[in-house]
Amino acid sequence: MKFLDGVPHRVAAEIHAVLDAVAEAPPPSFSGGGKWEAMHDEMAGYFEVRVQGGGKNHRLFCMLERNAPDLGGPSLVCLGGLSKPPRTAANPRDYRAVRRYGAEFQKRRTVLE
C-alpha cells in the first residue's frame, strides 16, 4: 500500500502491530487504546488506526468484513491513509476518497488506488 510505504518505518511497524492486535481480537473484543477507533457521522462503518510519529499524526482507514468467504473469513480491509500535522482536521477530500474506496471494495471486492 502506497501510504504505508511513505511513512517512517517505526510508524509502519506500529500500524502493523495494531492491525495484528485487531485481527487477533476483533472489535468489540479489541478496545484499541486510542490506536483503533470507530469513526462517526459520514464515516460510520469505517475504522482508523491512529499512530503518531515524525511530528505527524498518521491515519490508516479500514473496514471490517465479518463474513467474507472470498477473503478466507473475517477480514480487515485497509483502504488508504493520510498523514497530517497534530491538532489539525483531515481534508474532507481524504474522507471522500476512503468512502469511494470502500464502495469500490463492496462492489468489486478490490480497491484500485
The chain-wide mean pLDDT, for the chain, equals 90
Q: In terms of Cα–Cα distance, which of 48, 55, 46, 63 is closest to 11?
A: 55
Cell, residue 89: 482536521
The yes/no answer on whether domain 2-108 falls in CATH 3.30.450 is no
Listed by start position, the domains of the chain span 2-108
pLDDT digits (tens, 9 = 90+) for 16-39: 999 999 988 866 667 778 899 999
The string of pLDDT tens digits covering residues 48-78 is 999 999 999 999 999 998 888 888 888 899 9
- pLDDT of 29: 67
Total residues found in the chain within this entry: 113
Q: What are phi and psi of 66, to 5 degrees?
A: -75, -30
Question: How far, in Å, CA of 75 to CA of 54, rounded?
Answer: 29
pLDDT at 25: 81
DSSP 26: -
